[in-house]
């Protein structure tokens, strides 16, 4: 029943913007339990109102093969597994689609049960949403800081401007915080943002 509800919501999200997400609800509950104040910044904007450089920076940082895979990037998953087995720094292999499904329905917790449910919903998302809508949803719901959700809200918080007007260097710095948005700040991301800019150039952006 829960899976069917989530699948129905994915179909609905083809046309309707999510009013909230599991991650947003989770952070609110955590704040209440800590007795802390909670202010949510969440402003959904169409993909056309997000600077192409910002779209490209996020793809380059989080899922370089976004337009080639069908929800799972088996190549990146194998690299991540090999690196972990060799005792290297774990790099993760989640695609934007996987991250979107997790964000919408499961929050930040980890369990085999959640991963299994997520895996069955990813193909549904790819089928009913399509790449552009997946990208639009991801860019609008992704956590970008304490109480900050979506790139437009992040642009206003960190740069005092909209997602449409963000420059190339700023876009790379914003994308650089995504692996750890509660700890990282764009102004400290000089090295990693440089790597992202290089990746963008290699990808023809």
In a domain, 152, yes or no: yes
pTM over 0.95: no
pLDDT for 100: 97
Question: 80 near 91, Cβ under 8 Å?
Answer: yes
| HEC secondary structure over 56-74 | HHHHHHHCCCCCCCCCCCH
Residue 27 falls within a domain, yes or no? no
Residue 178 lies in a domain: yes
pLDDT reported for residue 181: 96
- Residue 4 within any structural domain of the chain: no
List the helix and strand counts (H, then E) for the chain: 9, 3
Confidence at residue 192, expressed as pLDDT on a 0 to 100 scale: 97
Does a structural domain hold residue 7? no
Return the pLDDT at 85: 43
Which residues, in sequence order, are bridge partners of residue 145?
148
Q: Is residue 17 part of a domain?
A: no
Task: Quote the pLDDT of residue 78.
Answer: 54
Q: Is 115 contained in some domain?
A: yes
- The count of C-alpha atoms lying within 13 angstroms of the C-alpha of 104, restricted to the half-sphere facing its C-beta, is 29
Classify residue 49: in a domain, yes or no.
yes
Say what the pLDDT of residue 89 is: 42
Burial of residue 2 (number of CB atoms within 10 Å: 0-12, 13-18, 19+): exposed
Based on the structure, what is the number of domains in the chain? 1
Block mean pLDDT (10 aa), the chain, length 205? 90 97 96 93 97 98 95 69 46 84 92 83 96 98 97 98 97 97 96 98 97
Range of the domain at 190: 39-202
CATH of the domain at 172: 1.10.3810.10
DSSP string, 73-141: -HHHHHHHHHHHHTT--------HHHHHHHHHHTTT---HHHHHHHHHHHHHHHHHHHHHHHHHHHHHH
């Amino acid at each position: 029943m829960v899976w069917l509800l989530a699948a129905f919501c994915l179909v609905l999200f083809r046309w309707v913007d999510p009013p909230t997400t599991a991650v947003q609800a989770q952070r609110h509950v955590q704040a209440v339990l800590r007795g802390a104040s909670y202010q949510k910044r969440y402003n959904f904007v169409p993909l056309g109102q997000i600077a192409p450089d910002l779209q490209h920076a996020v793809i380059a940082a989080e899922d370089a093969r976004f337009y080639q895979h069908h929800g799972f990037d088996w190549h990146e998953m194998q690299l991540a597994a090999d690196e972990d087995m060799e005792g290297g720094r774990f790099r993760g292999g989640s695609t934007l689609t996987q991250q979107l499904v997790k964000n919408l329905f499961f929050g930040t917790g980890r369990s085999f049960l959640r991963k299994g449910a997520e895996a069955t919903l990813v193909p549904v998302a790819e089928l009913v949403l399509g790449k552009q809508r997946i990208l639009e949803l991801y860019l609008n719901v992704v956590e970008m800081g304490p109480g900050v959700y979506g790139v437009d809200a992040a642009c206003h918080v960190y740069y005092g401007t909209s997602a449409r007007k963000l420059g190339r260097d700023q876009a790379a710095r914003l994308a650089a915080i995504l692996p750890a948005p509660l700890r990282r700040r764009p102004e400290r991301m000089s090295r990693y943002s440089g790597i992202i800019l290089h990746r963008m150039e290699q990808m023809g952006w």
